[in-house]
Chain A
Amino acid sequence: MSQVSQIAIIPGAERKLRNRVSIGQAIRDSFIMGYRGLLKIRRTPEQLFDVTLQPIIFTLLFTYIFGGAISGDVQSYLPIIIPGILAQTVLASSSATGTQLREDMDKGVFDRFKSLPIARIAPLAGALLADTVRYFIATTLTFAMGFLLGYRPGGGVAGVLAAGALMIVCAWALSWIFAFLGVISRTASSVQGLSLLILLPLTFLSNAFVPVKTMPDWLQWLVNVNPVTHLITAVRDLADKNVVGTDLGLALLGAAILVAVFAPLTVRLYMRKA
């Protein structure tokens, strides 16, 4: 306890003081906060339940329950259901961003972040960054489950990798909505409730599980304007045929619009509170 050096102070006059955060420092701080997210996942692995158990259980359930009815047999249903489950689980896992952000902002540690000379945006950016790891896990597990059940996508490794990458990019874009909810909501549970309201129609009013042709006309219209439908079609095209179609363009356009609208909105509100 006699070691004085660690608590010795450095007077203000001997410090290089700056009132600005450089872009380089902002990026560095964001990655450190992202690293914090990963450490938290390691400490509380139960955070990964949604991205580990859901792909496994849902893939098994949906494939065997719907396979026969929709495609005649399980084998020919796999190319339809695997991209569908992929979209459902990965997009759903992006909703955790909002609840976790809210919980974080309510904790004492957030005061510490605010009192440190770091980029104001770093805690938010770090959270969004760390969550891409979750999407990666969900994507990998869903494809792996499909492979175990006999799914052999025709697009080969390149097609599957491209499809996975597309999925992760779109989930990241969608997570901005949830980050927005996390910033404006008062409690974590209200974020969760709202997130579910957004997720359910988005993933079920799509071609994720059932061919669109089988639906009534008015529903077909709804399903076809849902960007998630285009995302799933694009994933199927990439995985099955390694083909880049208009759906890919539409999915990326939808993602870009989401980010363009919600990123500035969220950042502005967040900075006001941070």
Chain B
Amino acid sequence: MSTPDWAVEAHGLVKVFGDNRAVDGIDLFVRTGSVYGLLGPNGAGKTTAIRMLATLLRPDGGSGRIFGHDVVREAHIVRQLIGVTGQYASVDETLSARENLYLFSRLNGLSRTESRARSVALLEEFGLTDAAKRPLKNFSGGMRRRLDLAASLISQPPLIFLDEPTTGLDPRTRAQMWATIRRLVASGSTILLTTQYLDEADQLADRIAVIDRGVVVAEGTADELKATIGNSSLQLVLADPAHLAQAQAVVEQILHVNAAVSPEARRINAPMTSPDTVTDLLIRLRGEGIAVTELSVQKPTLDEVFLTLTGRPATAEDAETPQRELEGSFT
């Protein structure tokens, strides 16, 4: 039997689509009452992993347990314990917000009176009362997400899956979403969320698993991860592209890390543990006669996390969408 305080346990989860191993043996352990973040670029397998644990997809290999209940054999029990908020709002577009919540309440086994009361309360809770009767076609992205989350909370589930809860939201709406998620945690929920934003995982999650090409490449608390990838990221633009290789060697020597070179932009990127080392670096560069036109130190982006963890950038070759949003450090 499993330890009772695991909300989610996954052993070697595998999902294959054609010849694409979308999820290739993922192990996950999420403690009850914690927030767990799956961090990775598009197409890394985050959504597929979550869909298997939420009983929406059947695993091709491995096993998953939710509060000790198998996601395949006891799927119906698992569905009584979870709330799922999808990447694309899983609500009925043709109906109003109130009708959506009423229907999902009824399907959750509430009586007509209870369903009406619960819908009103949730609309209030998520600031949707004014828009309750309008059809969803006129809803903004943020309103849709809020309604979606409200629908996931009808049964007051002890475990909530949030698949990219803030992707595509403007900064203000994102901050509101974060506040809501924090309130959920305060009420005792366990949350498993996926995100493309390093910052989001950092802000919300107690533990983070970094996923790339269907496997977990790193796992730990936000602080543990940061220790491995560096607290900040250095960006250097050179005056003369001929100095690129030489400058890269200097950076790697002083910062003791791999540096990424973008020749077209005459740019070098590297993670760094302490901004103090910039001084040493600049002195060495001047000594070697390498002119620098631009220098900045930022929080690391997801791209740099991948560079550090996998030794290569988070390439888009196996992603669904070619361009990727990499705004990890800005909110």
Where the two chains meet, the residues of A that have a C-beta atom closer than 8 Å to any C-beta of B are: 1, 3-12, 15, 17-21, 25, 29, 32-33, 35-36, 39-40, 43-44, 107-118, 122
Contact = CB atoms under 8 A, between A and B. Distances in A.
Interface string B61-84: 000000101000011110111111
A15 B125 contact: no
Contacts of B248: none
Contacts, number: 123
Interface in B124-143: 124-125, 127, 135
A29 B67 contact: no
B183 A108 contact: no
A112 B89 CA distance: 9
A36 B121 CA distance: 21
Given A40-B92, A43-B96, A114-B55, 4 more contacts: A29-B107, A32-B107, A36-B95, A111-B86
B67 A39 contact: no
Nearest to A116: B107
B91 interface: yes
A10 B156 contact: yes
B42 interface: no
B188 interface: yes
A136 B125 CA distance: 41
B328 interface: no
B153 interface: yes
B187 A4 contact: yes
5 nearest A-B pairs in the assembled complex, by CB-CB distance? A112-B90, A117-B79, A108-B90, A115-B84, A108-B88
Nearest to B58: A272
**Interface residue tally on B, bucketed by range:** 35 or more
A15 B93 contact: no
Contact of A116 (B91, B99, B108): B108
Nearest to B51: A111
Given A35-B103, A112-B104, A117-B108, A9 B95 contact: no
A114 B58 CA distance: 12
24 contacts: A5-B121, A6-B121, A7-B125, A9-B156, A9-B188, A9-B189, A12-B81, A12-B158, A17-B69, A18-B77, A18-B80, A32-B106, A33-B107, A35-B106, A36-B95, A39-B95, A43-B95, A108-B86, A109-B91, A111-B84, A111-B86, A116-B79, A117-B76, A117-B79
A15 B188 CA distance: 16
Contact of B76 (A7, A20, A107): A20
Contacts of B91: 108-109, 112
B255 interface: no
Among B69, B80, B186: residue with most chain A CB under 10 A: B80
B184 interface: yes
Contacts of A12: 67, 81, 158
B270 interface: no
Given A9-B189, A15-B81, A117-B76, A111 B90 contact: yes
Contacts of B189: 7, 9
B55 to A, nearest CB: 7
A109 B90 contact: yes
A109 B153 contact: no
Contact of B121 (A3, A43, A111): A3
Contact of A39 (B54, B99, B104): B99
A154 B234 CA distance: 91
Main secondary structure of the interface of A (DSSP, over half): helix
Contacts of A115: 54-56, 79, 82-84, 90
A19 B94 contact: no
B56 A6 contact: no
B157 interface: yes
A8 B90 contact: no
Contact of A6 (B82, B84, B125, B127): B125
Nearest to B153: A7
Contacts of B84: 111-112, 115
A125 to B, nearest CB: 13
B122 interface: yes
A36 B86 CA distance: 21
Contact of B135 (A4, A43, A107, A111): A43
B76 A1 contact: no
B151 interface: yes
Interface in B94-129: 94-96, 99, 103-104, 106-109, 118, 121-122, 124-125, 127
Contacts of B94: 40, 43-44
A19 B77 CA distance: 5
A7 B124 CA distance: 12
A3 B121 CA distance: 9
A109 B82 contact: no
A6 B146 CA distance: 14
Interface string B159-200: 000000000000000000000000110111100000000000
